[in-house]
Amino acid sequence: MTDMPDTTLTPEPSHDAPGAHGDDAVGYYRPGDPVADAKAPDGPVADRWNTRKFEARLVNPSNRRKLDVIIIGTGLAGGAAAATLGEAGYNVKSFCYQDSPRRAHSIAAQGGINAAKNYKEDGDSVYRLFYDTVKGGDYRSRESNVYRLSEVSANIIDQCVAQGVPFAREYGGLLDNRSFGGVQVSRTFYARGQTGQQLLIGAYQAMERQVAAGTVEQYTRHEMLELIVADGRARGIIARDMVTGEIQTHLADVVVLASGGYGNVFYLSTNAMGSNVTASWRAHRKGAYFANPCYTQIHPTCIPVSGAHQSKLTLMSESLRNDGRIWVPKNKADCDKDPRTIPEEDRDYYLERIYPSFGNLVPRDIASRGAKNVCDEGRGVGPEVDGVRRGVYLDFKDSIGRLGEDAVREKYGNLFDMYLRITGENPYEVPMRIYPAVHYTMGGLWVDYDLQSSIPGLFVAGEANFSDHGANRLGASALMQGLADGYFVLPQTIRDYLADGPFEKIAEDHPSVVEAKKSVEDRVAHFLSTNGTRSVDSYHRELGNIMWEYCGMERTADGLKKAIDLIRSLREDFWRNVKVLGTADSLNQSLEKAGRVADFFELGELMCIDALNRRESCGGHFRAESQTEDGEALRHDDHFAYVAAWEFAGDGELPVLHKEDLVYTAIEMKQRSYK
Amino acid sequence: MKLTLKIWRQPDAASKGAMHTYEVDEVTGDMSFLEMLDVLNEQLNVKGEDPVAFDSDCREGICGTCGLMINGQAHGPEVTTTCQLHMRSFNDGDEIVIEPWRSDAFPVIKDLVVDRGAFDRIIQAGGFISVNTGSAPEAHSVPVPREDATRAFDAATCIGCGACVAACPNGSAVLFMGAKITHLGELPQGQPERDDRVVSMVAQHDHEGFGGCTNIGECVAACPKEIPFDVISRLNWDLHQAMRHGH
């Protein structure tokens, strides 16, 4: 099969002692030329966006209808971009794998959306939001992009209110805010615990309005399976109609990927079942650099796995840690007992013990690793899954005693109800059980200041790109970035590219189109003819276990190398032995999943290589070799203050590492401390 | 627990469907209903039988993708989405009948998967506020009374799953439509298009083949987000007002 990756790759011999120069990944990659963003203007960071908007060329309104734009994904970034570009008069084709654009996974975001409105007059400003975001990202994001994000944040709230998004309001009728994720100002706008839903419905309605106006054509239950690159430009996609199985060619002047994150490489995550990396990965294989794939965010307060059948994980707001106390039994023998019968002296409130000043409110990554460590020691609680209990107690008994059950219900009632529904246990009576889960991926396709990837004419927005969150994302910033990209950034920058269009029409028999279409058809045919013995899900689950074990909360050089070997052999087995039933010309959910899992295998390997290369701990990436005596993450700005932008060099070839140096002119790099 | 499942199988829209019976074993109370179907599909895959197609995505009750008739009830016996229904609501030895949403306006695509494109088209007809990106006034320039904002929010929590249609003996979508009319009609930003909105949406609703409302209330009982019955009164009121204004 033409598309079957060569998995017989062996590392080249190392010439350096591993780790001597922080280069643990010797033999797993090839160094490439540095890469730089050429689009952000020089000058003070606060002036760059205005300058760029002025410099970006305009497209005459009468020319816009001659320009075709393809947008993949209908979440906050894709939906907002489709609406806005449609309003501007471009011809937009919008694709999503769901049955309606309104289902995109932005809908599941709970907490809120940040904006530097300073309505509370509490010292917030564009600069402070910028500062908090760069710091929260552990100084691994690009300064220009983050400043712009903060700058446009206020416009987002105006836009959403005008669309009818029902944000929470005060009695006077003005918008309410709350403080979120440990920041000291109140800048988070919210709509109860359903902010993502309300913002997405706003973007969806704006987009549907353009569908009615004839500027946007929507393709639901369509999945992009290949990018068409012709004469050095992204010119279209190959998509599969998931209902009829038809393999379609869609050509355009520009392609936008807003296809979300890749957390489902871990099999279990808080992502939707269908969330996948295929659109991004197919673009990566066609030349788009993939930046910082190892940066993943793991959220400490999710409902634990209840058995091998588990298909996804559910997040609960981490505000629960404000009043709940986290503990496990001191003795392994107590782990299967009713927690209410375990006396105080036999409980280990390990976060309070290890971090006496912050206690249960330590940052997400420390709380997550703490839970992993006690479970690895065999002191986890809840059901045994694959021989290990993976859960810790989050106990509200003291709070209920102190504040009363009504006060606790007032604050957390909806979360307690959700917990009861999923677990069947009443958290007012029995301690909750929690465990960390993969939640968000900061890495993604590399983009410049214009959100253009390393392929001309391919733009990337939202979680699918890498630029704004560095090594860790602040709470309530994902919604902000998705909408900033979709409403305010991409529509302004894409016009500079489109000013050179319309590009020469390409025909369906252009060699690049023929090649792209054939590779998709071959892949479909391969999966349906393999007739092996194992289901796609079983491979996905096993890949997820490898990623979670070795490329999850804590990573080591040895573990990552082991993971790479395991992934390669599992991938080889997958291509030989996967069993996909059904036909190509109808709805076939196993076939859809097979293509996605095939791409997750390749991504998983690159994530491990990236994590292996980055011998430092920063944000969501924790290398056991790089920690302080207290077990805190230790950055190495001297070696790693760069974006790792990976180039695909071909099946069986080592990926090529291009480094983009991170230069801060408006902010000073500091090491975090929780002492 | 061990269960007997009677499931609607239909290869595609053009073919005739039929109920098929399956046994599924080792089901635990902690499984969600859809995870139980995952287990069945894994068994079918081993046996070389085509897995049962059903829709789901977020599996946390918010995206609105999933939805099955379970023993004749939309989303089953609890007030929640199918993905949030857990097997502890059933007993060992139970027989469970599983069908797709039943409505002419939601044609079956395969097995338990239906086409709800009609909902998108109803929104296209007027379920929005016309404001282009960048033309919005400062958010605080228009205060919204807290009660109005709360009512708008309560209606806006609709997830567009279609349970209301599936539950309605008339196959009506007025609860879905009333939720959107109420959401936008409660807000000052929604006023300028209020008459046009209701007229266009109702026309599209009827055009799609959804039935009329006879105030039975099954929709409200089935709604996983507990959208209140009075959004339908609101829809009727708005339609009446629009007529009076000459529509």
What are φ and ψ of residue A665, in 5° steps? -110, -20
**B170, amino acid identity:** N
- Residues within 8 A of A (CB atoms), B 39-98 only: 39, 42, 45-46, 48-51, 53, 55-60, 62-65, 80, 84, 86, 88
Return d(Cα A36, Cα B179) in angstroms, integer. 49
Q: What is the mean pLDDT of residues A547-575?
A: 97
- Residues within 8 A of B (CB atoms), A 146-175 only: 155, 157-159, 161-164, 166-175
Return d(Cα A137, Cα A153) in angstroms, integer. 17
- Residues within 8 A of B (CB atoms), A 195-214 only: 197-198, 201, 204-206, 208-209, 211-212
> What rounded mean pLDDT belongs to chain B?
97
Return d(Cα A564, Cα A570) in angstroms, integer. 10
User: Residue A311 and residue B35: Cβ atoms within 8 Å?
Assistant: yes
Least reliable range by pLDDT among A184-193, A373-382, A526-535, A575-584 = A184-193
Does pLDDT of B14 surpass 60?
yes
Does pLDDT of A2 surpass 80?
no
CB distance from B226 to chain A under 8 Å? no
Chain A hits for B43, CB-CB cut-off 8 Å, are: none
- Residues within 8 A of B (CB atoms), A 398-457 only: 421-424
User: Residue B133 and residue A83: Cβ atoms within 8 Å?
Assistant: yes
**A104, amino acid identity:** A
Which residues, 6+ apart, have CB-to-CB distance to B187 below 8 Å?
A164, A166, B144, B148, B149, B152
Task: Classify B75 in phi/psi space as left (phi over 0), alpha (psi -120 to 50) or beta.
Answer: left
Determine the pLDDT at residue A364: 80
Closest CA to A588 of A240, A249, A312, A251: A240
Return d(Cα B146, Cα B152) in angstroms, integer. 10
CB distance from A383 to chain B under 8 Å? yes
pTM: 0.96
Does pLDDT of A8 surpass 80?
no
Return d(Cα B230, Cα B233) in angstroms, integer. 5
Return the bridge partners of A236, or none: A228, A251
Return d(Cα B120, Cα B72) in angstroms, integer. 26
Q: Is A189 helix (H, G, I), strand (E, B) or coil?
A: strand
Local structure of residue A623 (DSSP, 8 states): B
Q: pLDDT tens digits for A601-613? A: 999 999 999 999 9
CB A479 within 8 A of CB A76: yes
Shortest Cα distance, chain A CAs vs residue B183, angstroms: 8
Residue that the structure tokens 């007059």 belong to? A121
User: Residue A197 and residue B62: Cβ atoms within 8 Å?
Assistant: yes
Return the bridge partners of A290, or none: A445, A646
A364 is catalytic: yes
Please give the span between the terminal C-alpha atoms of chain B, in angstroms, as a whole number: 58
Q: pLDDT tens digits for A303-359? A: 999 998 999 999 988 788 888 999 999 999 999 999 999 999 999 999 999 988 888
Closest chain A CA to residue B63:
A103
Task: Give the pLDDT band (50/70/90) at residue A22.
Answer: low
Return the bridge partners of A578, or none: A534
Closest Cβ opposite residue B145 in set A173, A422, A491 = A173
Shortest Cα distance, chain A CAs vs residue B12, angstroms: 7
Does pLDDT of A544 surpass 90?
yes
Q: pLDDT tens digits for A258-304? A: 999 999 999 999 999 999 999 999 999 999 999 999 999 999 999 99
Best mutation site among A84, A113, A163, A270 for testing chain B: the one with the most B CBs within 10 Å?
Answer: A163
CB distance from A274 to chain B under 8 Å? yes
Which residues, 6+ apart, have CB-to-CB distance to B7 below 8 Å?
B19, B20, B21, B22, B52, B98, B99, B111, B112
Token digits for B246?
Answer: 């000459």
Task: Give the pLDDT band (50/70/90) at residue A673.
Answer: low
Q: Is A362 helix (H, G, I), strand (E, B) or coil?
A: coil
User: Residue A307 and residue B31: Cβ atoms within 8 Å?
Assistant: yes
Chain A hits for B62, CB-CB cut-off 8 Å, are: 107-108, 194, 197
Q: pLDDT tens digits for B196-242? A: 999 999 999 999 999 999 999 999 999 999 999 999 999 999 999 99
CB A308 within 8 A of CB A393: no
Task: Give the pLDDT band (50/70/90) at residue A666.
Answer: very high
Does pLDDT of B135 surpass 50?
yes
Of the residues A140, A347, A364, A379, only one is catalytic, namely A364
Does pLDDT of A19 surpass 50?
no
Q: What percent of chain A has pLDDT over 90?
A: 87
Token digits for A127?
Answer: 């600069």
Q: Give the long-range contacts of residues A420-425, CB within 8 A, separation 24 or more.
A: A421/B80, A421/B84, A421/B86, A422/A303, A422/A314, A422/B32, A422/B84, A422/B86, A423/A303, A423/A306, A423/B30, A424/B29, A424/B30, A424/B86, A424/B88
User: Residue A162 and residue B131: Cβ atoms within 8 Å?
Assistant: yes
> What rounded mean pLDDT belongs to chain A?
94
Closest chain B CA to residue A220:
B117
Does pLDDT of A11 surpass 50?
no
ipTM at complex level:
0.98
Other C-beta atoms closer than 10 Å to the C-beta of A404 total: 11
Residue that the structure tokens 């559910």 belong to? A314
Determine the pLDDT at residue A475: 87
Shortest Cα distance, chain B CAs vs residue A579, angstroms: 8
Return d(Cα A623, Cα A612) in angstroms, integer. 9
Determine the pLDDT at residue A674: 59
User: Residue B133 and residue A117: Cβ atoms within 8 Å?
Assistant: no
User: Residue B120 and residue A421: Cβ atoms within 8 Å?
Assistant: no
Determine the pLDDT at residue A451: 98
Q: Is B225 helix (H, G, I), strand (E, B) or coil?
A: coil
DSSP per-residue string spanning B14-63: TSPPEEEEEEE----TTSBHHHHHHHHHHHHHHHTPPPPP---SS-SSSS
Domains of chain A, CATH where assigned: 299-438 (3.90.700.10)
Closest CA to A145 of A40, A35, A61: A40
- Residues within 8 A of A (CB atoms), B 183-222 only: 183-184, 187, 189-190
Domains of chain B, CATH where assigned: 3-110 (3.10.20.30), 117-244 (1.10.1060.10)
